[in-house]
């Protein structure tokens, strides 16, 4: 008789801080002090939250987040890689400070990315911009590379789980069946203490988790008329969602692709990464961020920034 192994249990990374700020290193404080330009770009009727650093006219870099995340997952990465570059990060519609829609799609998110790159001035340099995407954001990037890759210098896809279609369909059905209204927390501190990384993993840098948690919340009026806090994410986003065909898009990419994996990621195994490489254009390189789980910018922010500095052109 075989026994099924249960995944490891990870407590909420900020539960032990009582809603207070965890101590942070000097480099992190300096990065956050380098405030980005913040503006919205309207795409197909929805305002898209945009952050930008660096000088317009320098080679462009666009940073795309994963599912349930937001542009501020890069607010400590942008300053680290802005030297010689024009860097932008955005929140997809339905997430962060961007507008919500009645229907969503991977292709529409790709359209948002292209519009943000244009509005943020990433095409003003003499060379094309590079787009980097983490996790679920890799699927819009695959779509963008297939449709508009001739306008890009390259696409860097970071720990995106490209699973067989049968597995994807089952997960999609499960996700749509389990949608529910967002929970309203009584206080910002309570919500921050409940924050978890998904998929679950450990967190060696709670100061990063605290930042993305606090900037992922917004004040609301609760059901009883009392003030409260909710996550900045459309809870019914996947009720009407068009995933597209990432297998086809990756094969059809019209720009160089680089695949990146967190060295100890449980979401993107070495086998899944090899499978994605077999579908990507011939010669697609694979890189790894050592000692990082799925959320590479949380686990190894300095190493992740160093890898981007190596992969992305600058003036």
165-215 tens-digit pLDDT: 655 554 555 455 667 788 999 999 999 999 999 999 999 999 999 999 999
Question: Which domains does the chain show, CATH number per domain?
Answer: 33-177+233-311 (3.40.50.1820)
pLDDT for res 2: 46
Residues of the chain with pLDDT under 50: 1-3, 170, 174
81-96 tens-digit pLDDT: 999 999 999 999 999 9
For residues 240 and 217, give the distance between their C-alpha atoms in angstroms, rounded to a whole number.
23
For residues 250 and 278, give the distance between their C-alpha atoms in angstroms, rounded to a whole number.
10
**What's this model's pTM, rounded to 2 decimal places?**
0.94
- How many Cβ atoms are within 10 Å of 242's Cβ, its own excluded? 10
pLDDT for res 163: 84
**DSSP assignments along 139-176, one per residue:** HHHHHHHHHHGGG-SEEEEES-----HHHHHHHHHHHH
pLDDT for res 175: 56
pLDDT for res 146: 98
pLDDT for res 178: 67
3-state secondary structure of 143: helix
């Amino acid at each position: 008789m075989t026994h099924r192994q249960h995944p490891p249990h990870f407590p909420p990374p900020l539960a032990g801080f009582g809603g207070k700020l965890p101590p942070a290193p000097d480099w992190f404080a300096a990065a956050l002090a380098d405030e980005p330009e913040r503006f919205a770009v309207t795409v197909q009727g929805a305002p898209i939250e945009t952050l930008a650093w660096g000088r317009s006219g320098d080679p462009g870099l666009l940073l795309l987040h994963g599912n349930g995340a937001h542009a501020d997952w890069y607010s400590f990465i942008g300053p680290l890689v802005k030297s010689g570059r024009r860097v932008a990060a955005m929140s997809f519609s339905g997430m962060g400070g961007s507008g919500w829609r009645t229907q969503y799609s991977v292709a529409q998110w790709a359209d948002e990315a292209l519009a943000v790159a244009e509005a943020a001035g990433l095409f003003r340099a003499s060379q094309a911009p590079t787009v980097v995407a983490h996790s679920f954001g890799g699927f819009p990037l695959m779509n963008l590379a297939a449709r508009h890759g001739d306008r890009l210098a390259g696409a860097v896809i970071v720990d995106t789980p490209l699973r067989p279609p049968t597995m994807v369909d089952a997960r999609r059905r499960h996700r749509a069946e389990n949608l529910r209204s967002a929970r309203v927390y009584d206080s910002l501190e309570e919500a921050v203490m409940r924050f978890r990384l998904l998929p679950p993993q450990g967190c060696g840098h709670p100061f990063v988790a605290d930042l993305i948690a606090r900037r992922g919340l917004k004040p609301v009026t609760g059901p009883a008329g009392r003030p409260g806090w909710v996550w900045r994410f459309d809870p019914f986003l996947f009720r009407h969602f068009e995933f597209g065909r990432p297998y086809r898009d990756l094969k059809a990419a019209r720009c160089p692709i680089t695949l990146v994996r967190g060295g100890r990621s449980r979401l993107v195994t070495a086998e899944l990464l090899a499978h994605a490489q077999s579908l990507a254009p011939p010669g697609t390189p694979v890189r790894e961020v050592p000692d990082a789980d799925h959320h590479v910018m949380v686990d190894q922010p300095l190493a992740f920034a160093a890898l981007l500095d190596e992969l992305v052109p600058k003036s």
